[in-house]
Each structure stands twice: as structure tokens, then as C-alpha cells.
Amino acid sequence: MRKIISLICLLLPAIACAADPEIRPDAPERHVVTAGDTLWSISNLFFKDPWKWPHLWGANREAVKNPHWIYPGMVIYLNRATGQLGVQPGAAGDGAGGVVRLKPQARPISGGDQAIFSISARVIGPFLARPLAVEPDQLEAAPRIVALPEERVMIGAQDSAFVMGLPADAQDKWQVYQPGKPLIDPDTQEVLAQEVVYLGDVDVVKPGAPATIKVTSVRQEMGLGARLVEASDKLVAQYVPHPPVEKIQGKVISLYGGMTQAGQNTVVTINKGRRDGMEEGHVLALYKAGREVRYQSEYVQLPDERNGLLFIFRVFERVSYGLIMETHLPVKALDTVQTP
């Protein structure tokens, strides 16, 4: 009997995780995939919990890292009897007609660069190719601009400048940053990382000490002391959404761009990172702190209220960046995030 009870206890979490989301009452019978769709937005048409689409389409996160190859022109069908989604391949598909189920298996595909992404590639793409956050002292050792032409204070596109600290075998393409604000844990006051502000791109036109660079693109003007980081060619990834295995509870510590309030499709930073078990693709629930209300002669603390979902797409050692997928009220610094 003890063995049976133990086996049931082991199976209960798996059974709970396998539960399918509820079908939306206004879900369509079919949807033709178009450019600009994401797996999240497609699933949101059919189900109340759009982030659980791997369960619906039979994805196994451990065995299959890229379970869905869906293209514009494909038709998504809803089988209300089983609560599952079916796909009829279109011109860019992998079959010749018929409704098929997406299963974790090898499939011949073409045009993979046109596949529908999990979340908006347009929104998160720039954040994948830039450092965003570094260790507190990491920028101190980075190459930096030490002189500008003609005693100028700032430089822009097509201007040249001089840099010290570039290695002799430096690559041609570099990105330019200036130090931003420190990211501080609101509970422990630990400095978790330092944000960096992206200024633009430069090419090395003449190596040396100093080396000569030329500005190829500008986001903000560059000046003396700006740091250089090797340019990254990291592409937008396909993520499989999943909840953290362990219980995670953290806080929003920064809203990207210096905003005071954030809404849907806004990037925020949380005070949990790789050391805390965070992974790219984790989905967390957003909560608003409960208000204090006066009841008779004393104040009563209301419970925290769930406010939306956060999709983690970039993880550093002690902080992570997430995209707000849905929210009912504006998100602010110190709002809570936790395992949904």
C-alpha cells in the first residue's frame, strides 16, 4: 500500500501538468495563418491559457526543442470534441493535403526562416542581439572611445573616432554602449547587474593603439568614454513556453526605456536569473500588490491580484528580461512575478 501511495504522489504533478486548457467560448472553428501571427496569438484565439499550446499539440519540451513548424497559409482547425488543434499544410507546409496533428517527430520542412515564431520576433529581436545587462564591473575592462575628431564632444553617423583597448585580432563589427543604471534587488539591496544603454554600431577601419573606428549606425550620440562590445549575430529563437519546475517568486525591478508604467508587448526586468533556476521560455504570472483599505477603525491588507502573464526570453546570471504578453492593469516596478 505504501508503494502505491508513493507512486500516486509521483504521478499527481504529471497529471496536473498534462491537463489541457479550456476552450474559449468564442473560439473559431478554423484560422488561416498569416504573416505577423505568433504561436501565442494563434493559441489565444482558441484557448483561455494560450501559453500551454505545447500540451495541446503534443510537444515534449525535453525531447523536442522546436516542436512546431507553422507557416503562413496553413490552416489551424479546432476539434471541439477532443480539445486538440489540427493543421492542414499550405504551400509552405510539409505535406500534401489532409488534416494532420503536430507530434514530436522529425518532419521534412522547407523555408524554416519563414516559420511562425512563438512570440513576436519584431518586438524581442533587438533585445537578443544586445547585452542589455552586464556584471557590475564588466564594462571597466571593455575598449572605450578616447578621442574624437576636431575637438568635438559628440559624434554621429559616418564620423570617425579613436579607441583604446581593442585586441590586435579584433573583429570588424562592434556595438557601442554607455553604462546605465544599476539593477538592485529591492529585498536584499544586492547589485544584481548593470544595465547598458545601446548607442549604435561601428566598424574598425584601422587596428592599432589607438584603433580608428567609423560609426555605421546611431541610436544615440556617442562621446568620450563610451564602451565597445563585440557585435552579436544571435537570431530570434523559437521558444517552448513552460512554467518553472520550482516555485519562483520575484519582483519587477525595471521597465525598459525608463517608463513608469508598462503594458502589453513591453519589456521588463525581474530580479531572478540563471542562479535562481530561470530559463528562456519560462512563463510567470504577474501580480499587483493588494491595497490597504480602511475597515471600521483599522486598515486591512487586500490580497495580491493576478494581473497578467510574463514570457521570459533573455536570462542572465542574476536578472532576466521578459515580454508582457497580457495585462489587465499597468505593470509597475515592484509588482510581483511567480510561477503560474
Q: What is the pLDDT of residues 64-83, one digit of tens each?
A: 344 456 778 888 888 777 77
Of 240 and 206, the structure prediction assigns the larger pLDDT to: 206
Q: Which cell goes with 99?
A: 488534416
Mean pLDDT over residues 260-280, rounded?
92
Q: CATH number of the domain at 249-338, out of 1.10.1060.10, 2.40.10.410, 1.10.4080.10, 3.90.226.10? A: 2.40.10.410
CA dist., res. 327 & res. 285, Å (int): 10
Q: Report the range out of 108-112, 122-126, 230-234 with the highest average pLDDT.
A: 122-126
- What pLDDT is recorded for position 63? 37
- What pLDDT is recorded for position 125? 80
Q: Which of 110-119, 266-275, 307-316 has the lowest mean pLDDT?
A: 110-119
What amino acid is encoded at 139 in this protein?
A: L
Handedness of CA 159, 164, 169, 174 (dihedral sign): negative
Give all strands (DSSP E) within 81-210, no chain letters. 84-88, 133-134, 144-147, 154-155, 160-164, 173-184, 191-206
Residue 56 has pLDDT above 80, yes or no: no
Average pLDDT, the chain: 79
Backbone angles phi, psi at 135, to 5 degrees: -60, 150
Q: Which cell goes with 320?
A: 532576466
Which residues, other chains included, contact 33 with Cβ-Cβ below 8 Å and sequence gap of 6+? 42, 70, 71, 72, 73, 74, 75, 76, 90, 116
- What pLDDT is recorded for position 233? 63
Q: Which of 114-128, 212-226, 290-304 has the lowest mean pLDDT?
A: 114-128
- What pLDDT is recorded for position 320? 95
Per-residue pLDDT band for 55 (boundaries 50, 70, 90) equals low
Task: Tally Cβ neighbours within 10 Å of residue 328.
Answer: 11
Element (H, E) at 270: strand 267-270
CA dist., res. 23 & res. 29, Å (int): 11
What pTM did the predictor assign?
0.75
Q: What is the pLDDT of residues 78-119, one digit of tens each?
A: 877 777 777 666 544 443 334 444 444 434 444 445 777 888
